[in-house]
């Protein structure tokens, strides 16, 4: 799935200072929108240590035998220069990835045959899938000839809004990740956010505290998700290992995404979900109550970015959902959209 060595652009192997050439499309299936801009602020990062997350697969940490190898494999990317948006990555290649994610790890058994934990894995992946589709629709290349970008409400409706369960799963995934963030509040508040830019570092600390201790958020969602209900009974440990292996396989599949920018956001958000699972459930499959939580900087970055992506998706649904339904159904259906939201919340509360 990765580019062969002889096809890997030489410029990618050298220190990068001027951004990715827009005409270098060997890894992007001919789509310039899929290329990652590698321009970096020289003060932005000083590097961090990588350790393994048992919920996710990462070839840099799972296969490297030395830190020197790890250093050569790591790539720093400015996410602000690479927004999650339409990239032109469509068709059989993209479908194969999602088909593999669902068929290999979320088999379609009758609902009554699935235990609660297995349903949660499916909901998380479906919710993430819905969020990605919404971000593509919210920032879409409408006219390639004039480079006109805008909203594609048809796409949002046909991929997400017309399926109530996908809307419900989007809300579920948001609340799941929100619960992980609030549960790790003490750690996240005390974590080191030293990038070498004192002004930005202070701002980051302030914003993190505002997120963690927002009174409106605490009042609205005192317990977004109750993880204490899971992994009960004799099958608990076995189920945890099974679902952990399935999610790890999903994270490995992200390396097979043919579009570089899609792979960037796919790996980032799956790592964010893996970090949420790590916070809520386990480290190396063991009960978290007997271990000290340890997160790496990239896990924190992935977790917070995922929460942002999910919240932005929900915001876009609230702002443009009625317009999308009106466009596709010919009538204003804000009442129906509100009903979907209420159904989503009711479903989450029962979980």
Binding-site positions read 85, 87, 98, 126, 129, 159
3-state secondary structure of 336: helix
259 is catalytic: yes
Rounded CA-CA distance 118/131 in Å is 20
Distances (CA, A) of 59 to 38, 53, 65, 261, 305: 20, 12, 11, 18, 21
Residue 184, CB-side half-sphere exposure with 13 Å CA sphere? 27
123 with 173: CB under 8 angstroms?
yes
Whether 52 and 11 have beta carbons less than 8 Å apart is answered as no
Of 1, 3, 64, 262, catalytic: 262
H-run or E-run covering 286:
strand 286-287
The reply to whether 262 belongs to the active site is: yes
Place of tokens 């959209």: 337
User: Which of 42, 135, 54 shows the shortest CA–CA distance to 89?
Assistant: 135
Annotated binding site for FAD: which residue ranges? 85, 87, 98, 126, 129, 159
Within 10 Å of residue 173's Cβ, how many Cβ atoms?
A: 29
Q: How many CA atoms lie within 13 A of 196 on its CB side?
A: 8
C-alpha distances (whole Å) from 10 to each of 13, 20, 24, 135 are 5, 12, 11, 32
Of the listed 27, 64, 115, 259, which one is catalytic?
Answer: 259
Distance between CA atoms of 31 and 331, rounded to whole angstroms?
36
Cite the active site residues.
Answer: 259, 262
């Amino acid at each position: 799935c990765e580019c062969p060595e002889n096809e890997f652009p030489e410029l990618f192997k050298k220190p990068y200072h001027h951004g990715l050439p827009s005409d270098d499309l060997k890894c992007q299936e001919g789509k310039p929108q899929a290329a990652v801009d590698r321009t970096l602020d020289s003060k932005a990062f000083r590097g961090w240590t990588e350790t393994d997350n048992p919920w996710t697969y990462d070839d840099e940490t799972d296969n490297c035998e030395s830190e020197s190898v790890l250093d050569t494999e790591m790539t720093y990317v400015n996410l602000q220069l690479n927004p999650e948006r339409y990239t032109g990555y469509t068709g059989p290649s993209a479908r194969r990835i999602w088909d593999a994610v669902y068929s290999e790890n979320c088999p379609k058994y009758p609902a009554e045959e699935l235990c609660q934990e297995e349903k949660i894995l499916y909901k998380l992946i479906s919710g993430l899938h819905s969020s990605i589709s919404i971000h593509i629709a919210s920032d879409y290349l409408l006219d390639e000839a004039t480079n006109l970008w805008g909203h594609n409400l048809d796409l949002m409706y046909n991929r997400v809004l017309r399926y109530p369960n996908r809307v419900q799963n989007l809300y579920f995934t948001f609340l799941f990740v929100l619960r992980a963030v609030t549960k790790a509040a003490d750690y996240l508040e005390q974590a080191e956010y030293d990038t070498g830019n004192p002004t930005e570092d202070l701002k980051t600390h302030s914003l993190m505290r505002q997120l963690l201790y927002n009174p409106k958020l605490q009042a609205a969602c005192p317990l977004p998700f109750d993880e204490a209900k899971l992994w009960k009974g004799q099958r608990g440990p076995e189920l945890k290992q099974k679902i952990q292996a399935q999610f790890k396989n999903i994270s490995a599949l992200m390396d097979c995404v043919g579009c570089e920018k899609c792979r960037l956001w796919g790996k980032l958000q799956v790592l964010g979900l893996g970090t949420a699972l790590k916070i809520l459930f386990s480290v190396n499959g063991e009960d978290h109550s007997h271990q000290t939580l340890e997160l790496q900087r990239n896990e924190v970055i992935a977790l917070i970015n995922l929460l942002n992506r999910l919240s932005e998706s929900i915001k876009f649904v609230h702002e443009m959902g009625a317009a999308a339904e009106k466009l596709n159904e010919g009538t204003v259906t804000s009442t129906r959209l509100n009903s979907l939201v209420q159904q989503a919340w009711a479903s989450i509360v029962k979980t």
